[in-house]
Chain A
Amino acid sequence: MSTLTTALPRAAWLVLERELRLAFRRWEQITHPVVFFVMMATLFPLALSPEPALLRTLAPGVVWVGALLASLLALDTLYRGDLEDGTLEQLTLTGQPLGALLLAKTVAHWLLSGLPLVVAAPLIAYALAAPGEAVGTLMASIALGTGVLSFVGSVGAALTLGSRRGSVLLSLLVLPLVMPVLIFGARATDLAIRGEPSTGPVWLLAAMLILAATLTPLATAAAVRVSLE
């Protein structure tokens, strides 16, 4: 009996560990989205004006659109390699609930693509002349928001696995679903930059993350099964 109850956490941990190990052996998977994020934010002062007052009003939008696009960039490869080398098939054959294993995989994906964006966010906030007090809220909201993006994106990545022209299609599927994240994330950041209380939208983001974390693994598992048929 004890092996049955401990087998699932162990299997999930193995999946997570494998993802991290693979990623650390191929660094560019982690660095490319962050570099994209930072470079995209650099474009705005160059294209518009280096005026701090203007940059401060633009900062929430720039940071959030940047974070969204950067995490989309990382999504395309989420399952493709695993489909090609047969790992996905093995995961479905383990006898463990596929949704739980894919949850672990998605958490690993967030650690590799979302967390670096959270770490880079203060740098961009500073570059866009956002006040220091807003950085805490910005990091919290980016952490929650990229979490939702990873979960929803994971469904999209699994759905487009067996299809032609994957990556454009992927953004077409994922972007409408994550627009609420963009709305509330940018709203929280905007309020924090103005020095107003921003707990409302941050809690809403947290609620979205819980909803996404509980429901999307089921959809991802269904989508992976379709792609393996």
Chain B
Amino acid sequence: MGTWTWFHKLASPPHFYRIAGKMIPWYAIPAALLIATGLYGGLVLAPPDYQQGDAYRIIYLHVPSAWLGLLCYTTMATAAAVGLIWRIKLAHALAAATAPIGASFTLLALATGSLWGRPMWGTWWTWDARLTSELILLFLYFGYMALRSAFDDLTRADRASAVLALVGVVNVPIVHYSVTWWNSLHQGSTVIRSGGPAMPPSMLVPLLLSALGFTFLYAALACVRVRGEVLIRERNASWLQELASGR
């Protein structure tokens, strides 16, 4: 029994299909609890900001979705690299399943930021480094999904889109550091910064809970979507027919 046996076993579609199915509630229930607690803490319990009043409370949606937008891209690119290097089909399935989720989170981050920008900056949109790089991130997701859909052959779609996902990785650090590198209208990082978070715990804890909840939500959605991808890819496999007829 080698150390990697569990890994190879996990990469086999039937095994993964079963495990992922079992894992969905284990991700979805904590996600619901954490997001509910985080939002209650953020929208009701946390004190209003001394400058922004109640308008700042949109961060409890905005920051987690922006964070997930980047996390999803990184996950997608890592999975794509794993799929490309070791030719693991399941990794490609994970990358393909992640793209629409990441695009949705990025869109949500842009939309909530825009809603907040209207009262705070006096504009829905501004061509600022953070906003522009986030928009480019959304375009990269669109490009990835468009490239996938342009191939009839799944193996080709997997490998071509994996190359694109890896090329697009250059944008991830640009999004993250855009507020540091440029004099941006978007405020700098308040949570991850040297000298500790610049927020009182009553505001910070709900934000972290919400971010953790969003991460669990991604895991749950990814399980559902990868199962879908496995069904498409293995539609002619005997184990699926046994599974379908056995019920």
Contacts and interface: CB of A to CB of B under 8 A. Distances in A.
A226 interface: yes
Given A176-B139, A179-B136, A223 B150 contact: no
Interface in B36-73: none
B191 interface: no
Interface in A21-70: none
B164 A159 contact: yes
Contacts of B166: 219
Interface in B132-156: 132, 136, 139-140, 142-143, 146-147, 150-153, 155-156
Contacts of A163: 147, 150-151, 160
A160 interface: yes
Interface residues of B, number: 25
B160 A155 contact: no
A184 to B, nearest CB: 12
B168 interface: yes
A159 B140 contact: no
Interface string A170-181: 001101110110
Contacts of B143: 172-173, 176
A172 B160 contact: no
A226 B153 CA distance: 11
B167 A175 contact: no
Contacts of A216: 167
B160 A164 contact: no
B163 A173 contact: no
A177 B142 CA distance: 12
B159 interface: yes
Given A165-B150, A229-B155, A223 B160 contact: yes
B88 interface: no
A159 B136 contact: no
A122 interface: no
A163 B160 CA distance: 10
Given A160-B147, A169-B146, A175 B160 contact: no
A223 B136 CA distance: 22
Contacts of B172: none
Interface string B180-220: 00000000000000000000000000000000000000000
- Main secondary structure, interface of B, reads helix
Contacts, number: 68
B159 A226 contact: yes
A222 interface: yes
Given A176-B136, A176-B139, A219-B166, A226 B160 contact: yes
A97 interface: no
A180 B182 CA distance: 13
B159 to A, nearest CB: 4
B230 interface: no
A222 B150 CA distance: 18
B221 interface: no
A226 B156 contact: yes
Contacts of B146: 169, 172-173
B84 interface: yes
Nearest to A226: B159
Contacts of A116: none
Nearest to A215: B167
Contacts of B159: 222, 226, 229
A216 B143 CA distance: 17
A152 B147 CA distance: 16
A144 to B, nearest CB: 17
Interface in A159-205: 159-160, 162-165, 169, 172-173, 175-177, 179-180, 183
30 contacts: A152-B167, A159-B160, A159-B164, A162-B151, A162-B156, A162-B160, A163-B147, A163-B150, A163-B151, A165-B150, A169-B146, A172-B142, A172-B143, A175-B139, A176-B136, A176-B139, A176-B140, A176-B143, A177-B167, A180-B174, A183-B132, A216-B167, A219-B166, A222-B159, A222-B163, A226-B156, A226-B163, A227-B156, A229-B155, A229-B156
Given A180-B174, A226-B156, 7 more contacts: A152-B167, A163-B147, A163-B150, A216-B167, A219-B163, A222-B163, A227-B156
